[in-house]
Amino acid sequence: MSASAESVDTDSGGGEVTRELTDGFHLVIDALKLNGIETIYGVPGIPITDLGRLAQAEGMRVISFRHEQNAGNAAAIAGYLTQKPGICLTVSAPGFLNGLTALANATTNCFPMILISGSSEREIVDLQQGDYEEMDQLAIAKPLCKAAYRVLHANDIGIGVARAIRAACSGRPGGVYLDLPAQLLAQTLDAEAGWMSLVEVVDPAPRQIPAPDAIARAVEVLSSSERPLIILGKGAAYAQADEDIRMLVERSGFPYLPMSMAKGLLPDTHAQSAGPARSLVLRDSDTVLMIGARLNWLLSHGKGRGWGDAPKRFVQIDIEPREMDSNVEIAAPIVGDIGSCVSMLYDAMGDGWSGPSREWIDAVNARKLANLARMAPRLQNNNVPMDFHGALGALRTVVREHPDAILVNEGANTLDFARSIIDMYQPRKRLDVGTWGVMGIGMGFAVAAAIETGKPVLAVEGDSAFGFSGMEIETICRYDLPVCVVVFNNNGIYRGTDVNPTGGPDAATTVFVKDSRYDRMMEAFGGVGVYATTPDELSRATKAAMDSGRPTLINAVIDEKAGTESGRIGNLNPQSVVSRP
């Protein structure tokens, strides 16, 4: 417990007694620490500057960023990695709004996170009298997150923090907003009473045991399938039920497809991995077991492009009942936490489980081997300037040699190619653009991954994607984090070859300054900058960075003609067919 001040009272006998006082600042810090939260990601300023200072003084790790969105992304991914809500701390109005994108993104991705923002006084905000950075932040946050709370009295801070933690972690995890008006932080309270008002959250994410009849129904559906498939999503990775999931997959004998952030939950080299036969298993499977994955746009809603014409039956494991039937009929819904659901399903399948037919396994394996063989020579090409395959072939080997490193990945082509080319070997090692396919997560994720895990981080970034959070390389240098950023520099968005159709002096809308030297940005802050033009140079520089742990930025020169429009989701980018004279 931290007491901030002392006050002098007069006791009933007329003598003086000294009472210890605490205040809103210290109660917020004590409440977080009492619940095992040791790190805050944020940007200092009015009215929370002292909150950050005092938190650091009380032994918390306080990581200051250059922009709130990056601090918010860091908090979100810290939540994903640890199952404890990541904390993002911002100033009022503009800082709060900057953090809000990350909060909404966390909610969309089911990451537990709490955005704590200072705010102006209610009396002035509610009468709209024009306070410094006046904004009704609670009302604005509410539709964009899972829950939003405001605390007005210091003796409610304990309850406010407890509610925020429970809302973020329980059921389907998500983002929570906690509004702390400036005057609350300065309110004082008797230290003993303040301490007593704090709440230690017991079992913030209670297990949710599925109904036995739901398990029996699922076993019936699965046992009657001929061409079964498992799809593992990032909910399965989040659940930290790695061993239970491996046992279920191996007992079932089903081929499985990992969604992007579920790669490595089982190693991508696992015999049952159907990653390299993705289009075949989606099209030809007759029964699909979804584990912590949603049938959203990333899976063509379970019925669109790529799913084939024959009807399929779905079994779905999810903690959120309303996820069922969201896009297609779910023949056997299993509602509960993944650890419980998966281990009960494993038991119900029993020792004598016979697995899928030989023909199905052979068909999947044949396609897998053919695709891998077709890809192998492309990954070893030494073209200069590099293409995506040559450069990613080099990084693929580095990741194989450092399986505990964390891969952060964003971009368009840089994302799509890296996702399929770079194999992952351990759970929760691949962090990327997630459900929204959002750009800008890169440096925030990289910082938090390094802070939370202590492992080396490799951030593979398109040059455009990097620009959204690039200033945070100063943060990486300031905290001396083991982060190696590789910028795939192809001079622009998708490609670097567009020209202004009018022939006028303005650059085309999708291109950047040609041959930019992103490596020199890193040098400006004392990190290591490398300019790499060949797969060999890229490989050597990346290995050196992973071994040294020094902040490094490698500018990888990629052929500006190499990319495709919107990477693999060009179909989502409407194109005009109208030609004007």
Residues lying near Mg ion in the complex (CB under 5 A) are found at 462-464, 490
Q: Which residue, 65 or 417, is less far from Mg ion as judged by CB? A: 417
**Residues contacting ligand ADP: total by CB under 6 A:** 23
Distance in Å, CB of 293 to ligand ADP, minimum? 3
d(CA 180, CA 119): 6
Among 238, 445, 494, 518, binds ligand ADP (CB under 6 A): 238
Inter-CA distances, 477 with 209, 472, 483, Å: 45, 9, 9
Residue 278 in contact with ligand ADP, rule: CB under 6 A: no
Helix axes 388-401, 413-421, angle to 10 degrees: 50
> For the chain, first and last CA: distance in Å?
74
Residue with smaller CB distance to Mg ion, 173 or 462: 462
Q: Is 166 in the site for ligand ADP (CB under 6 A)?
A: no
Q: Stretches 70-78, 195-203, 293-301, 543-551: which one binds ligand ADP (CB under 6 A)?
A: 293-301
- Select from ligand ADP, Mg ion, none the partner in contact with residue 158, using the beta carbon and a kind-dependent cut-off of 5 to 8 Å: none
3-state secondary structure (DSSP) of residue 346: helix
| Closer residue to ligand ADP, CB minimum distance, 24 or 302 | 302
Nearest distance in Å: CB 242, ligand ADP: 12
- Answer for which of 88, 151, 239, 274 binds ligand ADP (CB under 6 A) is 239
**C-alpha span between 106 and 462 (Å, rounded):** 22
Q: Which is nearer to Mg ion, 41 or 388 (CB)?
A: 388
> In 10 A of CB 571, how many CB atoms?
10
Are the beta carbons of 1 and 59 closer than 8 angstroms?
Answer: no
The residue (of 248 and 394) whose beta carbon lies closer to ligand ADP is 248
Q: Are strands 188-190 and 16-23 parallel, antiparallel or unpaired?
A: antiparallel
Compute the distance between CA of residue 120 and CA of residue 149 in angstroms, rounded to an integer: 15
Q: Which is nearer to ligand ADP, 56 or 326 (CB)?
A: 326
Dist. CA 307–CA 309, nearest whole Å: 7
Annotate each residue in 294-313 with x if it binds ligand ADP (CB under 6 A) or - if it does not, as one string: x-x-x---------------
Residue 234 touches which of ligand ADP, Mg ion, none (Cβ within 5-8 Å per kind):
ligand ADP
Spatial CA neighbour of 102 closest among 68, 127, 136: 68
Residue 233 found at the interface with ligand ADP (CB under 6 A): yes
Q: Locate tokens 């505990």: which residue? A: 404
Q: Is residue 435 near ligand ADP by the rule CB under 6 A?
A: yes
Q: Which of 33, 66, 142, 172 binds ligand ADP (CB under 6 A)?
A: 172
One character per residue 94-113, x = contact with ligand ADP (rule: CB under 6 A): ---------------xx---
Among positions 261, 481, 487, 521, the unique one binding ligand ADP when judged by CB under 6 A? 261
| Token output for 552 | 């490094």
Out of 229, 319, 405, 473, name the contact with ligand ADP by CB under 6 A: 319
- Candidates 435, 436, 432; CA nearest to 416 is 432
DSSP β-ladder status, 228-232 and 256-258: parallel
Bridge pairing between strands 175-181 and 147-150: parallel
235 counts as binding ligand ADP under rule CB under 6 A: yes
What DSSP assignment string belongs to 99-164? HHHHHHHHHHHT--EEEEEEE--HHHHHTT---TT---HHHHHGGGSSEEEE--SGGGHHHHHHHH
Structure tokens that stand for 406 in this block = 């964390």
Shortest spacing between CB 278 and Mg ion, in angstroms:
24
Nearer to Mg ion, 252 or 464 (CB): 464
Question: Which residue's Cβ has the minimum distance to ligand ADP?
Answer: 235
Q: Are strands 528-532 and 457-462 parallel, antiparallel or unpaired?
A: unpaired
Cα 537 from chain centroid (whole Å): 30
What distance in Å separates the CA atoms of residue 276 and residue 282, rounded to the nearest whole number? 12
DSSP code, position 49 = H
Q: Which of the choices Mg ion, ligand ADP, none does residue 47 contact, using the CB cut-off of 5 to 8 A by kind?
A: none
Q: Nearest approach, Cβ of 113 to ligand ADP (angstroms)?
A: 14
**Which residues are near ligand ADP by CB under 6 A?**
109-110, 172, 233-235, 238-239, 259, 261-262, 292-294, 296, 298, 318-320, 323, 337-338, 435
